[in-house]
Amino acid sequence: MNPTVITAENLTRRFDDNVAVNNLSLEVYAGEIFGFLGHNGAGKTTTIRLLNGVLEAHSGSIRILGMDPLTDGPSLRARTGVLTESASLDARLTARYNLNIYADLFGVPCNKVAFRVSELLEFFGLSEYADDKVETYSTGMRQRLALARTLLHDPEILFLDEPTSGLDPLATHQVNELITNLANEKGRTVFLCTHNLVEAQKLCDRVAVMEYGRLVALGTPADLAQQYIRRFDVDIETAPDQMGIALDLLSNASSLTQGLPRQINGSITITVTGREVIPDLLSFLVNQGIRVFQFIAHEPTLEDVYFALHGEKEVLQ
């Protein structure tokens, strides 16, 4: 297991009577993409502010790269990059000027600034507009420029809050590839806040799910699916002349299935009681002489887990 680079223990932060972060404990490991999920008001942004020393916790402790964000803020921020939900760029300046200013603030060596700025502008498809004022940029262009700014000093840890917000599909794919490359090829750690559950499923090694300031789930997407989802749907294609027999057999296989089979577009869909019975169901049909041409088990998604945790689908009791 890689070393721990982010540790929060019993972290609590209140705003008057509202507990925005409630006794949060978690660890993030070097080189992983860590998804931080939750509805608006779940405590995600407050947590990022706490982890970066922008806010002070009322109780609990934080260590980022072995440092305390409150007392070691300047040293820590030289090694981390933060993309906030809003771009926070100076719209009156050009894109190049914006990046030059932040390169100076981040301590990028003077002899490397021009190359680094040009490199990032090229990567994010902004070279042609580098000397245009940011106020003329579209939302997607501003987001790409904000991402470029976050990467200027090649940080070890990236805190990204909705990094693909406002981007078109091509730019979204490019950013997701960048995130994967930063973690897998360069060993960077990515702390990713997102509402895009499909994106999180593809990108994240582990995810944490927040609800009203509390951590309600933590683990890999696969582990969470196994823990919280009890139902699996299976699509079965049989020989056409055996469809009726297969439907009858499945209707009476209550030890393996839940509910009745459904005939949909020339195949059968059935809900099984758990992942472990899927091989038994296939064996059952084959042993009964059913010719099975396709047998597709639909694994639960992170979206299924998320809604289960929020009470909109069945969960294990």
Q: In what order do the strands lie in the sheet with 257-264?
A: 257-264, 267-272, 232-238, 292-298
The least confident of 1-5, 12-16, 189-193 is 1-5
Same domain, 271 and 158: no
Mean pLDDT along residues 160-183: 88
| pLDDT single digits (tens) 255-295 | 888 889 999 888 999 998 878 889 999 999 999 999 999 99
Mean of pLDDT over the chain:
91
Q: What is the CATH number of the domain that holds 267?
A: 3.30.70.120
Same domain, 284 and 220: no
| Beta pairing, strands 80-83 & 18-29 | unpaired
Q: What is the CATH number of the domain that holds 161?
A: 3.40.50.300
In a domain, 19, yes or no: yes
The least confident of 115-119, 178-182, 299-303 is 299-303
The least confident of 79-83, 127-131, 197-201, 271-275 is 271-275
pLDDT of residue 317: 31
Mean pLDDT along residues 70-93: 90
With helix as H, strand as E and coil as C, how does the chain read? CCCEEEEEEEEEEEECCEEEEEEEEEEEECCCEEEEECCCCCCHHHHHHHHCCCCCCCEEEEEECCECCCCCHHHHHCCEEEECCCCCCCCCCEHHHHHHHHHHHCCCCHHHHHHHHHHHHHHCCCHHHCCCEHHHCCHHHHHHHHHHHHHCCCCCEEEEECCCCCCCHHHHHHHHHHHHHHHHCCCCEEEEECCCHHHHHHHCCEEEEEECCEEEEEECHHHHHHHHCCCEEEEEEECHHHHHHHHHHHHCCCCCEEEEEEEECCEEEEEECCHHHHHHHHHHHHHCCCCEEEEEEECCCHHHHHHHHCCCCCCCC
pLDDT of residue 311: 63
Same domain, 201 and 53: yes
Provide the whole-model pTM: 0.82
Domain boundary among the residues 226, 255, 282 is at 226
Same domain, 200 and 252: no
In a domain, 306, yes or no: no
Q: For residue 285, what are the domain limits?
A: 230-299
The least confident of 20-24, 172-176, 217-221 is 172-176
pLDDT of residue 291: 95
Q: How many domains does the chain have?
A: 2
